[in-house]
Structure 1
Amino acid sequence: MTSDDATAPRRDLTAHPHVAAVLDVLRVHGIDPELRQLPDAVRTAQAAADALGITPAEIANSLVFDATTADGAHEPVLVLASGGHRVDTAKVAALLGIDALDRADPAFVRAHTGMAIGGVGPVGHPAPLRTVVDVTLGRYDTVWAAAGHSHTVFATTYDELIRVTGGSPMDVA
């Protein structure tokens, strides 16, 4: 049996340390989410939407940016953006009162979230991140977010995302 065999047993990822970290934070907030383990890695909103049978706009992309502050310091900013559009980094930087917001490289993302790009959850990081939640996600009863691994996603709501992340609602497009 090969790993591509659809009948091959799949490894249960709920015990994966990053998935467990996401689920632990959600449970602290009284949330026991529907968790889906997908057969293939979903590193884009389109791939996740295709796997779930929904539109990309219903995916809460966890995008980590490298924010440059007025004093030249760098800090992570997590933008939970609808997969239906791109983040306007100049607009978000201005709304946050920071000098620049640049796409973070994989090492920066892993250093601040503990997770790899494609599986970054909205929570479960070594330390809380300054977070922005795209208001567009509020149009949907259910949105899906990565659960700490590129093969796992969980169902949530816009309001839950704001509550569990302490995020600021913002029009990011």
Structure 2
Amino acid sequence: MHPRAAEFERRARERYGVEIDVLEFDAGTETAAAAADALDRETGAIASTIVVSLSGGDRDGSLVAAITSGANRLDLDAVADHFDADDAEMGDPGRIREVVGWSIGGVPPIGHEAALPTVFDPTLAEYDTVYGAAGTPSAVFAVDPETLADLADAAVVDLTG
């Protein structure tokens, strides 16, 4: 197992008391479509974690996380509105790696270095099982969506367009 995927498994066990079974693939799973293809699942069942940078308002310069269904597109204006910010943009990859502890393409929905305010796409609740990144661009894990929202301490709110 890739060391970063093993690190994710360890963090899940130690921080949340859950056993995660990481699935690794030779083909990348860094996009929702690629993960869905590798898993032979609907794109909607992929729980993509998108880290967003806010500007203006009380959270100026803050990072937040959005766990969205792979079938949906995150609405950055809705993210800014939800967090009372003037603007929201995709987070800088270097800053995400530094603050969150994971690299884009493998950012898991839980187990970050820093606690991030997190929102959860209600579309994911339509599935019995969803799949999130497990620390690398070729690793995912399966989880019940309600459990995932709880573990991520996420507010369930639709911020997709």
TM-score w.r.t. length of structure 1: 0.85
Partner of 1:22: 8
Structure 1 residues 46, 70: closer, same or farther in 2, change over 3 A? same
Structure 1 unmatched ranges of 5 or more: 1-11
Aligned position for 2:80: 93
- Point out where structure 2 has 5 or more consecutive residues left out of the alignment: none
Preserved CA contact (<8 Å) 2:9 2:22: no
Identify the residue that residue 144 of structure 2 maps to in structure 1. 157
d(CA) in 1 for partners of 2:5, 2:99: 16
With over 3 angstroms needed to count, the CA separation of the structure-2 counterparts of 1:69 and 1:160, relative to structure 1, is farther
**DSSP 3-state at the match of 2:62:** strand
Partner of 1:160, secondary structure, is helix
Letter in 2 for 1:84: A
Report the equivalent of 1:166.
Answer: 153
Shift of 1:123: 1.7
3-state SS of paired residue (1:74): coil
1:55 and 1:100 mapped to 2: Cα distance?
Answer: 31
In structure 2, the residue matched to 1:123 is 110
In the other structure, the counterpart of 2:31 is 44
Percent identity between the aligned chains? 33
Distance of 1:161 and 1:71 partners within structure 2: 27
The 3 A distance-change label for structure 1 pair 35 and 72 is closer
TM-fit CA distance, 1:70: 1.1
After TM superposition, give the deviation of residue 30 of structure 1 in Å: 3.2
Give the greater-gyration-radius structure (CA). 1
Instruction: Write the distance in 1 (CA, Å) between the matches of 2:33 and 2:8.
Output: 22
Give 1:72 deviation, angstroms. Answer: 7.2
Contact persistence 1:24–1:124 (CA under 8 A):
no
- Tell me the TM-score normalized by structure 2: 0.91
Deviations 1:59-117 (A, max 9, x none): 00011110124157301111111000101111122122222111112112212222111
CA-based RMSD: 1.6
Q: Cα deviation per residue 1:21-57 (whole Å; 9 max; x = unaligned)?
A: 4223322423213321111222210000000001111
Once the two structures are overlaid, the 10-residue window that deviates more, 25-34 or 58-67, is 25-34
Match of 1:142 in 2: 129
After superposition, the C-alpha distances for 1:130-168 in whole angstroms (9 at most, x for unaligned) are 111111101000000000111110001221111111111
Matched, 1:105 2:92: yes
